[in-house]
Amino acid sequence: MEELDFRGLLDHFAAGGFQKGEQVILGHFGTVQTLLSLIFETPANVMNIQMTVYSLSIHRSVDLVAGEWTVCHATSKIPRDLNSKTVLHHVSEGKLGLGQIVVTLGIPNTRRLIEVGRDKHAFWRTYAIEGHSLYIEITENFPRPPFEAIGWLQPEVGSG
């Protein structure tokens, strides 16, 4: 995994008013499914998979559901020419999260943070997973209410 510019990331989080709980999730580059399972103390399962296969790429949309809550909505772009047939097979099968596919196949990779953001309703990030015969761009959107309900985040002022 590539080394992140942690000081720059922390400065960016501070300037953007990100809460500590948001920082932990947005700055984490292991499988988000595992992290969310630990936070919510129940398995976070990949649900509602929708895929559209184009000639040049696969677009995938999923929800991660922990207990009664949808805790993440993720959209991904998987270019067909930048990924191995094995990666594309696992993506098309739809049984595993994308991070889990990379771990299951043991592909050395780097994860590059492209963007982070937040508002009173959600927080999000876009990042790329890159390796030999591997390139996936993922945008993850985390709705605030489930995280506030378990005390992981403080309610936003004025979000009443």
Whether 158 maps to a domain, the answer reads no
pLDDT digits (tens, 9 = 90+) for 75-133: 999 999 999 999 999 998 877 778 888 989 999 998 888 889 999 999 999 999 999 99
The pLDDT assigned to 48 comes to: 77
Is 159 within a domain?
no
In a domain, 52, yes or no: yes
The closest of 75, 63, 71, 67 to 36, measured between CA atoms, is: 71
CATH of the domain at 72: 3.40.1410.10
Parallel, antiparallel, or unpaired for β 57-66 and 122-131?
A: unpaired
Domain of 61?
Answer: 6-149
User: Would you place residue 11 in the very low, low, confident or very high pLDDT band (cuts 50, 70, 90)?
Assistant: confident
Question: Within a domain: residue 155?
Answer: no
**Which of helix, strand or coil describes residue 63?**
strand
Q: Flag whether 156 is in a domain.
A: no
Q: Taking the model in full, what pTM does it have?
A: 0.86
Q: How many domains does the chain have?
A: 1
Evaluate whether residue 160 is within a structural domain: no
Neighbours of 40 (CB within 10 A): 21
